[in-house]
Structure 1
Amino acid sequence: METCIVEGNISVKAVLLGKKRKVHKILVDAKKKDKDTAFILHKAKEAQVDITYMKREEIDALATGKTHGGIIAYCGQRKYQNLEELVNKKQVFLALVEGVEDPFNFGYVLRTLYAAGCDGVLVPLRNWTTAADVVTRASAGASEY
């Protein structure tokens, strides 16, 4: 089972709400008290996700970056939709994205397409798993929807 880490409120919330990947565990700063975090933890409890409260320094040691804001999630691989699921709508907006190699750029493209109302993205076969956190953060969570 391949696991990825997503960091920050926006990314963790998107993974929970998008329901395209299993969230195994959420680590949160025990002192983190804000409305967005409360919402995330509420949704995590609804989904029966294990929540571990830790010191900020412990989360810093586990995170890949320093902009996690005190919350990270361990997630499984993303589940993708079949093309048949998307084309059964009356009107469908699909985009073909080729030639993007940088995970930040890929995330920016996904965020733009999501904002434009895109239903699905067709991409060449490539494993973005190792860059899941970067793509999720760069897309402001849109990659999970």
Structure 2
Amino acid sequence: MDRVIGRRAVMEVLRSGREINKILILKNSKLNDILKIAREKKISVSKVEKKTLDRYGEKHQGVIAFVSPKKYKKFEDLRFSENTFFVILDRIKDPGNFGAIIRSCEFFNIDAVIIPRKGSAKLTETVWKRSAGALEYIDIVLVENLSKTIERLKEKNIWIIGADSEGETCFEKDLTGPVALILGEEQRGIRKILKEKCDLLIKIPGRGNIESLNVSTAAGILIYEILRQRIEEKNTQKRNR
């Protein structure tokens, strides 16, 4: 049984329709929206003291839901089209960053997030909370080997783009078409074996003294730029008709 902690995360899991075993709510808290939906869905709700919720961590915001585990998807579950957009995470171990990236991916309607079985953060309650409930609406694909997965994606005509500090400026490259964007951990970046398989390496040009961005921030910027170029390309095609 997984735990979903925090008001927004619990609200999203309620809306998603996933099986919820029970909800613990702080006594005298004003969480009427959550209570209303829980009652409509006939979900067991217990009003408890703060010390009971604190057993599961202090940042619970007065509510915790116990839910059926979210199931990982397989490579075979992926769907491909001319607008395919996957995000691949290489050794992103920090659950806070993982959750924040998932939130951005869901916001921009990315098709799936692909992670390796080893060396990656898993779907913990911290990830749930940092994703602000977005984890409910996006597929997380768990694979054994990222290198082989990239090769399989290339066979499907997916363009592999890696985020790297030595790459070319993202705003100056054509990033349209079906793509998979690879993001590596902040300290070491994408592994060399994966970098060598990329069709293109890109970076976000900075203007200040700091050399790099947090990986979750960089993810949001790069995802937006790829989608912006797609929209611009479509608008150009319409004008030329």
Same fold flag (TM > 0.5)? yes
Task: Identify the residue that residue 11 of structure 1 maps to in structure 2.
Answer: 9
Find the residue that maps to 1:96 and give its secondary structure.
strand
Deviations, residues 32-83 of structure 1 (Å, cap 9, x unaligned): 12xxx222222222333211112223322x32x2121211111221034565
Q: 2:85 and 2:69 mapped to 1: Cα distance?
A: 25
Task: Identify the residue that residue 32 of structure 2 maps to in structure 1.
Answer: 38
Q: Percent identity?
A: 30
Aligned pairs for 1:56-71 (under 5 A) are 56-60=50-54, 62-63=55-56, 65-71=57-63
Task: Identify the residue that residue 106 of structure 2 maps to in structure 1.
Answer: 114
Give the letter aligned to residue 71 of structure 1: V
Quick one: structure 1 residues 11 and 47, their matched pair in 2 at CA, closer, same or farther if it must change by over 3 Å?
same
Match of 1:78 among 42, 65, 70: 70
How many residues are matched? 135
Match of 1:50 among 26, 44, 53: 44
The structure with the larger Rg is 2
Q: 1:67 and 1:85 mapped to 2: Cα distance?
A: 35
Gaps of 5+ in 1: none
Task: Identify the residue that residue 21 of structure 2 maps to in structure 1.
Answer: 24
Task: Identify the residue that residue 134 of structure 1 maps to in structure 2.
Answer: 126
Give the letter aligned to residue 25 of structure 1: K
Q: 1:84 and 1:41 mapped to 2: Cα distance?
A: 38
Find the residue that maps to 1:5 and give its secondary structure.
strand
Q: 1:15 and 1:89 mapped to 2: Cα distance?
A: 28
Find the residue that maps to 2:90 and give its secondary structure.
coil
Higher relative contact order (CA 8 A, sep 6+): 1
Task: Identify the residue that residue 96 of structure 2 maps to in structure 1.
Answer: 104
Contact 1:86 1:92 in 2 (8 A): no
Which of the pair is proportionally richer in strand?
Answer: 2
Moved runs in structure 1, 4+ residues, more than 6 A?
none
